[in-house]
Amino acid sequence: MTSGPDDGSLAIESRALTKVFGSQRAVDSIDLAVPRGSVFGFLGPNGSGKTTSIRMMLGLVQATSGDVRVLGEQMPNRLREVLPRVGALVEGPAFYPFLSGEANLRRFDSADRHASSATRRARVASALDRVGLTAAAAKKAGAYSLGMKQRLGIANALLQPRELLVLDEPTNGLDPQGTREVRSLVRSFAAEGTTVFVSSHLLAEVEQICTHAAIMSAGALVAQGPLAQLRGAGQSSVRITTPDPGAAASVLARFGLTPTSLETVRATAEVSALLPVPDEPGSTNGRVDIDAILPALVRAGVRVRGFAVEEPSLEDRFVALTGEGFDVVR
């Protein structure tokens, strides 16, 4: 990456970013592109290099080779100029347990040379209110639950207006209500124009809040792009629940679809067939009339107890790319 002018379209951009610890390549020449204004999910199994990548982006770890820009600025050369524009919650929040939540935030705010002391009380109150901790502001941080500490960490990242928020496992330890609140917060940040970079092991959460995602595996970046594009790279399928699996398979065959699985479900069976990939050469997907399958089944006397066209999920894509299950950690 050159040090020339930035076109402003990317909040984070890396070129061949690499980190080697001894003989281990923790991060292997990744080219990451995080669009401004996006909610970007960063996924990967154990040891995939996600946290090391984040630490290099924030200038906390020196890269072995390669380059990274954050908000258009070269890192870590422009660290002092960039960090005031970035809010981060990385590897869990750390606070003084003997101080209240409010006192902790005042202390952190006072350490920020860009923060005005005249408006400190109002900024702290606003940040606590935004994460739902106003009622617990006077409570010692050591007595906070894990979820409350997580929200206090997000409040700390919100003390100043930020162009970029980097959140590592932001819903860790939260109950369902707290998770919904953080989800709503992330959406509100994006609505205000803030880019949000979210590292998470909760694929369902990423699917609900993110517009873009990247998947890491063994230190390498194996996929990235808009969420719809990542999901669309997988294959859709049609699933039929019926006590007449043989007859259902015969009807599917008329549409050029071959059953890929037959599973017993109580007293019935589920017949599943993959739909052709839309852009594959020679694909018949454009000529498969999905709406015609159900009427054809009924006409053939197939007793249909369930019919669904299942779109590929982010989890399906993740498993296909990494060979790992959904228990992804940072």
Domains parsed from the chain with CATH numbers: 10-226 (3.40.50.300), 237-319 (3.30.70)
Average pLDDT per run of 10 along the chain, which is 330 residues long?
Answer: 57 96 93 95 85 92 95 92 88 84 93 85 92 92 87 88 88 76 83 90 80 91 87 74 90 86 72 63 55 91 88 72 53
The pairing of strands 10-21 and 212-217 is unpaired
What's the rounded Cα separation, in Å, for the pair 15 and 2? 10
pLDDT of residue 275: 65
pLDDT of residue 165: 94
Distances in Å between the Cα of 273 and the Cα atoms of 30, 125, 220, 235, 249 are 36, 55, 32, 10, 9
Q: Which residues contact 266 (CB under 8 A, 6 or more apart)?
A: none
What's the rounded Cα separation, in Å, for the pair 61 and 80? 15
pLDDT of residue 326: 45
pLDDT of residue 323: 67
pLDDT of residue 97: 93
Burial group, residue 43, by CB count within 10 angstroms (0-12, 13-18, 19+) = buried
pLDDT of residue 297: 92
Query: Do 318 and 203 form a contact (C-beta atoms < 8 A)?
Result: yes
Length of the chain: 330
pLDDT of residue 115: 83
pLDDT of residue 1: 46
